[in-house]
Each structure stands twice: as structure tokens, then as C-alpha cells.
């Protein structure tokens, strides 16, 4: 499977997906730590891909997403953004809303 196909499959199979450095329990960068912590406070399950373990995805995803940095949060197949956007959304109460809405769609 080509890298772009793998990315598309990951995004389509995981309604809430965080591409990050490390894992939510052991993040390898401060931005990934903030982003995963923000997601965990929403109280819903989410998938993650450690780009440090997947150099092919680390190389291709910025081109695919037209977004140069990590972490990247994808919800229901749409790129939400990186750490700054995630933290801004938390402060405005928007992140919790989109995460809960995504989880509610899955529950049906």
C-alpha cells in the first residue's frame, strides 16, 4: 500500500485521529503533549499515529494535508489543525463540541 493510501485509510477509519510525535502517554515533543492532553480532556477515545515510528507518513502527510507541521488533528476526515489551533479551540470550548459531535455520530 502506498503511503498516501495508508494516510487516507487511517483518516477514514479513525473519526478522531492525531498525528503526533510519540504517544499520548509518552509524547516526544511539547506541542504533541499539549495537543494529546487537550484531546484527553474531551473524554472521548481517539486514535493516534506516532510519526517518529512512521517516517513515510512523516514525509508525506504535510504534502497530503497541505499543513507543514505536527501534530495534526483530523476529525471526521477533515484537518482541524495543529497545536495552536487546538489550544485556541479548547479555550473557546469548540474542541469539546466537535469531539463530542464526532463521538455521538459513532454511537448511533
| CB neighbourhood size of 80 (10 A) | 21
Residues annotated as binding site? 21, 29, 58, 70, 83-84
Residues annotated as binding site for glutathione? 21, 58, 70, 83-84
C-alpha cell at 62: 504535510
Closest CA to 20 of 8, 2, 34: 34
Three-state DSSP state, 16 = strand
Residue 70 Cα distances to 12, 79, 103, angstroms: 19, 12, 23
Residues annotated as binding site for [2Fe-2S] cluster? 29
Question: What are the residues facing 49 on neighbouring strands?
Answer: 19
Amino acid at each position: 500500500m502506498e503511503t498516501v493510501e495508508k494516510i487516507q485509510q487511517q483518516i477514514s477509519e479513525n473519526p478522531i485521529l492525531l498525528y503526533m510525535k510519540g504517544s499520548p502517554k509518552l509524547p516526544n515533543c511539547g506541542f504533541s503533549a499539549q495537543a494529546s492532553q487537550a484531546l484527553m480532556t474531551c473524554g472521548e477515545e481517539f486514535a493516534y499515529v506516532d510519526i517518529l515510528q512512521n517516517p513515510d507518513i512523516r514525509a508525506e502527510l504535510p504534502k497530503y494535508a497541505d499543513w507543514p507541521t505536527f501534530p495534526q488533528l483530523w476529525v471526521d476526515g477533515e484537518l482541524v489543525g495543529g497545536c495552536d489551533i487546538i489550544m485556541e479551540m479548547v479555550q473557546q470550548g469548540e474542541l469539546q463540541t466537535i469531539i463530542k459531535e464526532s463521538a455521538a455520530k459513532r454511537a448511533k
